[in-house]
Chains A and B, each alone.
Chain A
Amino acid sequence: MNGITSSTALWYASRATGVVALLLLTAVMVLGILVNRQGRLPGLPRFGATSLHRSVSLLAAVFVAVHVATAIADPFVSIGIVASVVPFVSHYEAFWLGLGAVSLDLMAALIVTSLLRGRIGRRTWRVVHWLAYLTWPVAFAHSIGSATDMQRGGLLYLGIGCAAAVAAALAWRVTAARRAVPPGQRAARVLAAATASRQLDREQRARAGAR
């Protein structure tokens, strides 16, 4: 490759936005898992994780859109508009691009149902949102499989890092679910803790007063 020319600009743009989209989707995945178990990010209130999850996913959607648009517009390989949404019909890399189309469709479903959550009801939204656990691995496989430069060097380590982050978040999710206090005992636990800390404060004050 001899640097960016007008004929390779779209190719590079598609590659670059694809890599950034993978990074952002990994962040969305980790944040989503955090939100699901009511986890917290240091320095952020609990609802901060929720709005961050939402904002980053919309940002990722923009990068995915640019990634797909530049890939279609790029004359180097001909990927039709149809092949970008219908899986496995592309003439070029049918399988790996097919995975990209699948993840694009899944992402569209996730975003549309999230925007319409108030109308379709929480239960439907929740069922559809489980597809996120399918979307990320499919998108990841598409990244590794269709981009030869992701199969070695720095980008490979980036890919491994993303997979490790999602795996760690999943492991945390499973253990957090096991540690979770059942709803019926939550108030009682908080009350016991609040009462005990008040009692402690009063005793400390009484000791300080006696001195």
Chain B
Amino acid sequence: MSVDYLAAAGPPPAAPPAGLPRLIPACAPADAGADHRSDKQSLAGHLARLGPLRYPARPGGLIAEAEAAGLTGRGGAAFPVHRKLAAVAGQARERRRAVVVANGAEGEPASGKDAALLWGAPHLVLDGLQLAAQATGATEAFLYARRGEELSRRLLGALRQRAAAGLDRVEVEFVQAPDAFLAGEETALASWINGGPARPAFKQPPVYERGVAGLPTLVQNVETLAQLALIARFGAGWFRALGTAAEPGTMLATIHRADGGSYVTEASLGTPLTALLPAELAGPGAPADTVRAVLVGGYHGAWLAPEQAAGLSLSNASLRPAGAFAGAGVLAALPAGRCGLAETARVGRYLALESAGQCGPCFNGLPHIAGALGELAGPRPRRQALADVQRWAGLVTGRGACHHPDGFVRFVRSALTVFRAELDAHARGRCTATDHTPFLPVPAGPPAREPR
């Protein structure tokens, strides 16, 4: 390539995207398998769409810009990005070395947004990874992505394109994440890259002090890095043009429609849920005849009654009071005619088996709760089963090395509230569902693995 992408006097910056989408360029489906050199996902297409990658003059510049933008982590926890960047930068100054990791593990089976982003805009994520490396003073970078042959080929191809163009200042190593719900938890991630099992560890010392190779490590979700790459190009003011004042910007969301369709979309923070699930929450007969419940925030998230969901929006300010949170943007509308208890029991069983098996309250408590949920999902459960779930739920909360037990309990407790009528029906030996096929995605195959 002849274009000098790094030169300040290079090609002029492209016009910033005015509305949506910002992250993943819209492309005709025909493009998908077409010539990579001409499509928008290639390096040339990416740079033509968004302009050259410009590094801030001083390394800390991006940290201030991220703070001004109010960017928070898009992996689910919504932690302020500038604080993580500053923490790793501070450690890196002392240790003279640091690591940045783009986290695209996406262990959540109901989420597809990280894979969609890595597929649709790999170079935006990799731009963000380089910018984060510069901002923190990192000397090593990793791209940690969900297992998959096609995606891996694509990402390795993207890394080769950048190497050929001399675009990257820090070399990026590609690592495939194991298929585990907790694979993206940052201590599990650090352990896996270090050659150990992908199991969460105790948080002392934190990953930003000692992570990959014992070095200060910044772990950011791939979407967070993509957002960072846009902020570096177009500024905090542009970023704040969408979203709310408290939660600015946009986020990717994985929508599971009641008709069985699912897709990834980008939405401004604060978008009403009725706009994201229009047919389910705002259409004719909605919501009573169309949906039984809405799952918000994924399998560590919460079920909401449809009437309640219809009044809420995609932001933590709106969802938190309802006991839910935006998380990594999973939104699933369970169709009317399905059994919420059966769905909860199925997902609960999956989550219990995804316990890393380290903390007693988790690997003993979650399977026992899942067993009781299985009984509640069947006909005429004993009254004891409900009492068991409630009692054990209280016993496992806050007692793991990671938040797996807490997220599991949030999901289960919300089900007991939202599906109260169904619980009564099951107690009388009836199920109001007419369709018993599974709805929420749960990976098949042997769940308990010991990959290393």
Binding site for B on A (CB under 8 A): 38, 46, 118-119, 121-122, 181-188, 190-191, 194-195, 197-198, 201-202, 205
Interface residue from B204, B352, B371 paired with A198 (Cβ < 8 Å): B371
Asked whether, in the complex, the Cβ of B204 is within 8 Å of the Cβ of A118, the reply is yes
- B378 closest partner in A (C-beta): A202
Query: Can you list 29 A-B pairs, Cβ within 8 angstroms, ordered by A?
Result: A46-B360, A121-B204, A121-B210, A122-B202, A182-B357, A182-B450, A183-B199, A183-B356, A183-B358, A183-B363, A184-B197, A184-B448, A185-B357, A185-B450, A186-B355, A187-B354, A187-B366, A188-B447, A191-B353, A191-B367, A191-B371, A194-B367, A195-B371, A195-B374, A198-B371, A198-B374, A198-B385, A202-B375, A202-B382
- Bound together, the chains give a CA A195 to CA B370 distance in angstroms of 9
Asked whether, in the complex, the Cβ of A185 is within 8 Å of the Cβ of B448, the reply is yes
- B354 closest partner in A (C-beta): A187
- Bound together, the chains give a CA A119 to CA B356 distance in angstroms of 25
Q: How many residues of B contact A (CB 8 A)?
A: 34
Asked whether, in the complex, the Cβ of A191 is within 8 Å of the Cβ of B370, the reply is yes
Residues on the A chain within 8 Å of B210, using CB = 121
Summed over the interface, the residue pairs from A and B with CB atoms below 8 Å come to a total of: 74
Nearest-CB distance from B391 to chain A (Å)?
Answer: 14
Main secondary structure of the interface of A (DSSP, over half): helix
User: Is B432 an interface position by the 8 A CB rule?
Assistant: no
Residues on the B chain within 8 Å of A119, using CB = 204
- Bound together, the chains give a CA A118 to CA B203 distance in angstroms of 10
Residues on the A chain within 8 Å of B202, using CB = 122
Task: Other than A122-B204, A184-B450, give 6 A-B pairs with Cβ distance below 8 A.
Answer: A181-B357, A183-B356, A183-B363, A187-B352, A187-B363, A188-B353
Residues on the B chain within 8 Å of A191, using CB = 349, 352-353, 367, 370-371
Task: Tell which of A182, A187, A201, A205 has the most Cβ of chain B within 10 Å.
Answer: A187
The 9 closest A-B pairs by CB, nearest first: A183-B357, A184-B450, A194-B371, A191-B367, A186-B357, A188-B448, A190-B367, A187-B355, A186-B363
User: Is B19 an interface position by the 8 A CB rule?
Assistant: no
- Bound together, the chains give a CA A122 to CA B358 distance in angstroms of 14
**With contacts A182-B450, A195-B371 known, is A187 near B204, CB below 8 A?**
no
Residues on the B chain within 8 Å of A186, using CB = 355, 357, 363
- Bound together, the chains give a CA A122 to CA B375 distance in angstroms of 39
Asked whether, in the complex, the Cβ of B363 is within 8 Å of the Cβ of A190, the reply is yes
Task: Tell which of A121, A181, A197 has the most Cβ of chain B within 10 Å.
Answer: A121
- Bound together, the chains give a CA A183 to CA B362 distance in angstroms of 11
Residues on the A chain within 8 Å of B160, using CB = none
Asked whether, in the complex, the Cβ of A187 is within 8 Å of the Cβ of B353, the reply is yes
Asked whether, in the complex, the Cβ of B367 is within 8 Å of the Cβ of A38, the reply is no
- A205 closest partner in B (C-beta): B382
User: Is B431 an interface position by the 8 A CB rule?
Assistant: no
Q: Among residues 432 to 452 in chain B, which have CB atoms less than 8 Å away from a CB atom of chain A? A: 447-451
Asked whether, in the complex, the Cβ of A201 is within 8 Å of the Cβ of B449, the reply is no
Nearest-CB distance from A168 to chain B (Å)?
Answer: 25
- Bound together, the chains give a CA A186 to CA B451 distance in angstroms of 14
Nearest-CB distance from A165 to chain B (Å)?
Answer: 26
User: Is B49 an interface position by the 8 A CB rule?
Assistant: no
- A190 closest partner in B (C-beta): B367
Nearest-CB distance from A118 to chain B (Å)?
Answer: 6
User: Is B46 an interface position by the 8 A CB rule?
Assistant: no
- Bound together, the chains give a CA A182 to CA B355 distance in angstroms of 12
User: Is B341 an interface position by the 8 A CB rule?
Assistant: no
Residues on the B chain within 8 Å of A205, using CB = 382
Asked whether, in the complex, the Cβ of A121 is within 8 Å of the Cβ of B448, the reply is no
Nearest-CB distance from B348 to chain A (Å)?
Answer: 10
Asked whether, in the complex, the Cβ of B204 is within 8 Å of the Cβ of A194, the reply is no
- Bound together, the chains give a CA A194 to CA B349 distance in angstroms of 12
Asked whether, in the complex, the Cβ of A183 is within 8 Å of the Cβ of B450, the reply is yes
Residues on the A chain within 8 Å of B448, using CB = 184-185, 187-188
